[in-house]
C-alpha cells in the first residue's frame, strides 16, 4: 500500500489531495516537521523533510515530483495526467513555475501574518513579498484568460499543484481580487471535494 509521511499542515497536503483525487487507498503517517531529523526518518528521506511517498520499493521526496509521479502512474484514466505531450509539458512547466516564482513569497506572507508568534512577525517583510507576487499573479491571470484549466480541457495535476501552493495565500492574506481569472480558477480548484476530503479533520 502507498504510504505518505508528513503532517497535514505541511506540503504533504498536496500529496494527500492528489491521492484523494485519484481515489487510491493509502496509509498516512502525520509525522511532524519537528521529528524529521531522527535516525529513523532520515533513513526514509536523508534530507529530513516531508512529504515522502513510499510506493512499493520506491521512496520519493519533493511534493511536486510526488504528485507528477502519482498523476502519471495512476491518473490517466481520471484525467489528472494530460493526454497530450503538450499538456504534459504544461503540467511540468506550471509545477516548476509555482515553486520557483511564488512559493517563497507565499510562505513568507504566511509566516509573518499567521504562523510566527506575534512579536516575531514583520508586516513590512510580508508586504514586500505580497508586492513581489503581483508579477507572477499577472502571468497566471493572463494564462487563464478564456480558459478553465492550465494544461488542457479538464482539471489536471497542473491545476492541483499550483492551487495547493496558492492555498497559502489565504493564511498569508494575499488578495486575488485584482486577478479575476486567477480568483475564479483558484476558488473552483480549491473547492473540489477531494481537497476538502484531504483536509478534513
Domain range summary for the chain, segments of one domain joined by +: 2-74, 85-199
Class for the domain spanning 2-74: alpha beta
For residue 33, is pLDDT > 90? no
Which whole number is the average pLDDT over 20-45? 95
Share of the chain residues as helix, strand and coil, in percent rounded to the nearest 5: 60, 10, 35
**pLDDT tens, 8-25?**
999 999 999 999 999 999
CA distance 22 to 156: 11
**pLDDT tens, 145-187?**
999 999 999 999 999 999 999 999 999 999 999 999 999 999 9
> What CATH number should be reported for the domain whose range is 85-199?
1.20.1050.10
Which whole number is the average pLDDT over 30-51? 95
Q: Which pairing describes strands 2-5 and 52-55: parallel, antiparallel, or unpaired?
A: antiparallel
Tell me the pLDDT of the chain averaged across its residues.
97
Amino acid at each position: 500500500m502507498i504510504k505518505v509521511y508528513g503532517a497535514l499542515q505541511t506540503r504533504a497536503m498536496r500529496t494527500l489531495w492528489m491521492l484523494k483525487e485519484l481515489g487510491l487507498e493509502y496509509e498516512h503517517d502525520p509525522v511532524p516537521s519537528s521529528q524529521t531529523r531522527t535516525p529513523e526518518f532520515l533513513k526514509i528521506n536523508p534530507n529530513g523533510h516531508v512529504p515522502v511517498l513510499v510506493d512499493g520499493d520506491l521512496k520519493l521526496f519533493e511534493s511536486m515530483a510526488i504528485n507528477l509521479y502519482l498523476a502519471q502512474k495512476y491518473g490517466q484514466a481520471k484525467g489528472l495526467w494530460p493526454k497530450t505531450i503538450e499538456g504534459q509539458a504544461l503540467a511540468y512547466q506550471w509545477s516548476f513555475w509555482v515553486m520557483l516564482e511564488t512559493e517563497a513569497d507565499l510562505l513568507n506572507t504566511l509566516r509573518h501574518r499567521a504562523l510566527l508568534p506575534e512579536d516575531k512577525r514583520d508586516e513590512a517583510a510580508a508586504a514586500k513579498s505580497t508586492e513581489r507576487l503581483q508579477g507572477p499573479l499577472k502571468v497566471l491571470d493572463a494564462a487563464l484568460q478564456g480558459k478553465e484549466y492550465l494544461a488542457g480541457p479538464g482539471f489536471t495535476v497542473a491545476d492541483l499543484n499550483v492551487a495547493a501552493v496558492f492555498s497559502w495565500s489565504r493564511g498569508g492574506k494575499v488578495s486575488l481580487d485584482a486577478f479575476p481569472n486567477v480568483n475564479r480558477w483558484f476558488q473552483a480548484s480549491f473547492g473540489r471535494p477531494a481537497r476538502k476530503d484531504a483536509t478534513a479533520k
